Amino acid sequence: MSLTEPFASPLASAQRFDRLDALRGAAVIWMAVFHFCFDLNQKGLLNPPQQFLSDPFWTWQRTAIVSMFLLCAGMGQAVALQAGQSWARFWRRWGQVAGCALLVSAGSAWMFPLSWIHFGVLHGLAVMILLLRVCWPLLRTLGPLGLLGLGVLALALPQWVALEALNGRWGNWTGLVTRLPVTQDYVPVFPWLGVMLMGLALGLFLQRQQPQAWAGPIPRWAHPLAVLGRWSLSFYMLHQPIFIGLIALAVACC
């Protein structure tokens, strides 16, 4: 089970897209290293203490990691839509992502009651893949180039539209806000839908023009990354409790 399962294409119904899986796996590794450093910092074990919310060294990494995940999600949706994925299968996968998003909210509310995650990466992913699915009859008419342009517009929209009325928790999921919420993770629909649309555009282009670009073999050293990419949602849900528990155990033993 992964953040966006790479559904088989009509070109090879039993084929796994190992290159897409490996790219997602690389994002998972980067995310894990980032979170482990964050957890160490939370326990006061990094010297000097790091400013994860303001230091560009950390904020740019977070942006890059989320962008990699959403690009992979967009490409995964291209595969699913081109393969004619059924609504039943879509809802089953969507339910897994949405259910995990609720668990993240519950866990973060327990650990960070003043800054719990009400719309993080899984919440954003659930809403955005639903939007892509519902709007697919229209989006498919745009073609890869049109989708790329629409993605650029989505990226830029928060720079043009920002409403104070949307600053509350029931509106800031849109991203069209005048101030950022206090939360441990925030991945609103705008501008991040733009990244997923770009992934969808790239995925459709590769499917139609260069199918072997991502359907070909990968080096032996990348096989573990591909396996990890296929189980990225499970890893995402488990890695932080494991990290936090190991760090707490190490601190207690020392």
pLDDT the model gives residue 14: 39
pTM of structure: 0.90
Q: Please work out, in degrees rounded to the nearest 5, the angle formed at the alpha carbon of residue 132 by the alpha carbons of 140 and 86.
A: 85
Q: Report domain extents, the chain.
A: 18-241
Taken in order 82, 88, 89, 94, the sign of the CA dihedral is positive
Q: Contact, 4 vs 73, CB < 8 A?
A: yes
pLDDT tens-digit readout, 132-162:
999 999 999 999 999 999 999 999 999 999 9
pLDDT of residue 15: 52
The per-residue pLDDT string of the chain (254 residues; one tens digit each, 9 = 90 and over) reads 334 443 333 333 335 689 999 999 999 999 999 999 999 999 999 999 999 989 999 999 999 999 999 999 999 999 999 888 899 999 999 999 999 999 999 999 998 999 999 999 999 999 999 999 999 999 999 999 999 999 999 999 999 999 999 999 999 999 999 999 999 999 999 999 999 999 999 999 998 888 777 777 899 999 999 999 999 999 999 999 999 999 999 988 87
End-to-end CA distance of the chain: 37
Q: What DSSP line would sit under 141-166, residue for residue? A: TTHHHHHHHHHHHHHHHHHH---GGG
- Residue type for 217, please? P
Q: How far is CA 159 from CA 180, 191, 199, 252, in A?
A: 13, 9, 21, 47
